[in-house]
Structure 1
Amino acid sequence: MPSIPKTEIHLNVYDLVDNNNLYVYGLGIYHSGLQIGGTEYTFGREGAFEHEPKKAPAVPLRDSIFLATIELPRDRIVSIVDEVSKEFNTQKYHLLNRNCNHYAKALYERIIDRCGRIAKEKSTPIPGYVNRMAWLGSKFRCLIPPDIINTAVPSSAEGTETADEASSTGAGSKFSAFQGSGRSLSAREEPKKSSSGGLFNSMFSKDQSQDIEIPAYYEDSAESRRERMLKAAEKRMSSKTD
Structure 2
Amino acid sequence: MSPFKFGGLFHAGVEIGGKEWSFGYAAVGSGVHCSTPRKHPLHNYRETLELGVTSLSQAEVRSLLEAMVREYPGRGYHLIRCNCCHFASDLCRRLGVGDVPAWLERLAWIGESLLEASEGLERFRCVMEDVASHAC
1:32 alignment partner in structure 2: 12
- Measure how far apart 1:24 and its partner are: 5.3
Query: Which of 56, 64, 68 matches 2:48?
Result: 64
Q: Over aligned residue pairs, what C-alpha RMSD do you find?
A: 2.4
1:139 aligns with 2:123: no
Distance 1:140 1:85, change over 3 A: same
Tell me which stretches of 4 or more aligned residues in structure 1 moved more than 4 Å. Answer: none
The letter for the 1-side match of 2:15 is Q
Gaps of 5+ in 1: 1-19, 113-122, 143-214, 216-242
Report the 3-state secondary structure (helix = DSSP H, G, I; strand = E; otherwise coil) of the residue aligned with 1:140. Answer: helix
Query: Which of 75, 83, 87 matches 2:59?
Result: 75
Report the 3-state secondary structure (helix = DSSP H, G, I; strand = E; otherwise coil) of the residue aligned with 2:101. Answer: coil
1:91 & 1:70 partners in 2: Cα distance? Answer: 29
Distance 1:55 1:90, change over 3 A: closer
Report the 3-state secondary structure (helix = DSSP H, G, I; strand = E; otherwise coil) of the residue aligned with 2:7. Answer: coil
Q: 1:29-178 counterparts in 2 under 5 A?
A: 29-46=9-26, 47-89=31-73, 92-112=76-96, 123-141=97-115
- Measure how far apart 1:51 and its partner are: 0.7
* Number of aligned residues: 112
The letter for the 1-side match of 2:13 is G
Which one scores higher on RCO, CA 8 angstroms, separation ≥ 6?
Answer: 2
The Cα offsets for residues 170-189 of structure 1, whole Å up to 9 and x where unpaired, read as xxxxxxxxxxxxxxxxxxxx
2:64 & 2:5 partners in 1: Cα distance? Answer: 34
The Cα offsets for residues 69-114 of structure 1, whole Å up to 9 and x where unpaired, read as 12332121111011122111285100000001111111111121xx
Contact 2:32 2:74 in 1 (8 A): no
Contact 2:22 2:32 in 1 (8 A): yes
Q: What's the TM-score once normalised by structure 2's chain length? A: 0.73
Report the 3-state secondary structure (helix = DSSP H, G, I; strand = E; otherwise coil) of the residue aligned with 1:55. Answer: coil
Q: What's the TM-score once normalised by structure 1's chain length? A: 0.42
- Measure how far apart 1:131 and its partner are: 1.2
The letter for the 2-side match of 1:49 is H
Whichever structure has more strand as a proportion of its residues is 1
Whichever structure has more helix as a proportion of its residues is 2
